[in-house]
Amino acid sequence: MTVAVYPGSFDPITKGHMDIVERAAQIFNEVIVAVVINPNKKPLFTMDERVEMIRMASAHIPNVRVESFSGLLVDFTRKQGARAIVRGLRAVSDFEVEFQMALMNKRLYPEAETVFMATHTDYAFLSSSMVKEVASFGGDVSDYLPPSVLTRVAEKYGDTVWGKAPAR
């Protein structure tokens, strides 16, 4: 059984993230979406809220589970019995940082491989930070978030995030 870990802060999870989750779930027997506790970031959503949103957004994928962790990714990956780390790439600029992390992870946990997945072109520009910024200024982010996540973002920023046609 091949288990993969897809780590990130997912604050919030976007359709771009979900594209990677869905595609990884077609390749691996089990995909663990690993929500990292990053002390250097001030998240919009609590850890529990992020885990809950990802569980709701991925409920249709039977071989996906969602966990949170702190500390080194390789320690979490090893503890889960995973042999793959999935990373999404939006642009060439992502590759340099991701490649360095992959090399360090390989040194720390040689049995694990990092698998890079190019994002769908519809989401190549998309990030959680961008979604939060647009939403904070009253912009429509309904095309970029799973419906259950959009509801939670609307609770934080107001109904303007729905755009012209409410997705409720």
pLDDT for 163: 64
pLDDT per position in the chain (168 positions), as tens? Answer: 899 999 999 999 999 999 999 999 999 999 999 999 888 878 999 999 999 999 999 999 999 999 999 999 999 999 999 999 999 998 877 898 999 999 999 999 999 999 999 999 999 999 999 999 999 998 999 999 999 999 999 999 887 766 654 444
pLDDT for 164: 52
Q: Is 17 annotated as a binding residue?
A: yes
**CA-to-CA distance for 116 and 111, rounded, in angstroms?**
16
Catalytic residues: 17, 41, 90, 128
Q: Is 124 annotated as a binding residue?
A: yes
CATH at 58: 3.40.50.620
Q: Is 125 annotated as a binding residue?
A: yes
Is residue 130 in some structural domain?
no
pLDDT for 159: 74
Is residue 61 in some structural domain?
yes
Q: Is 90 annotated as a binding residue?
A: yes
Is residue 67 in some structural domain?
yes
Q: Is 123 annotated as a binding residue?
A: yes
DSSP per residue over the chain, as a string? --EEEEEE--TT--HHHHHHHHHHHHHSSEEEEEEE--TTS--SS-HHHHHHHHHHHTTT-TTEEEEEE-S-HHHHHHHTT--EEEEEE-SHHHHHHHHHHHHHHHHH-TT-EEEEEEPPGGGTT--HHHHHHHHHTT---TTTS-HHHHHHHHHHH-GGGG-SS---
Total tally of structural domains belonging to the chain:
1
**CA-to-CA distance for 151 and 156, rounded, in angstroms?**
9
Is residue 14 in some structural domain?
yes
Is residue 136 in some structural domain?
no
Is residue 163 in some structural domain?
no
Domain range for residue 97?
3-124
Is residue 134 in some structural domain?
no
pLDDT for 158: 80
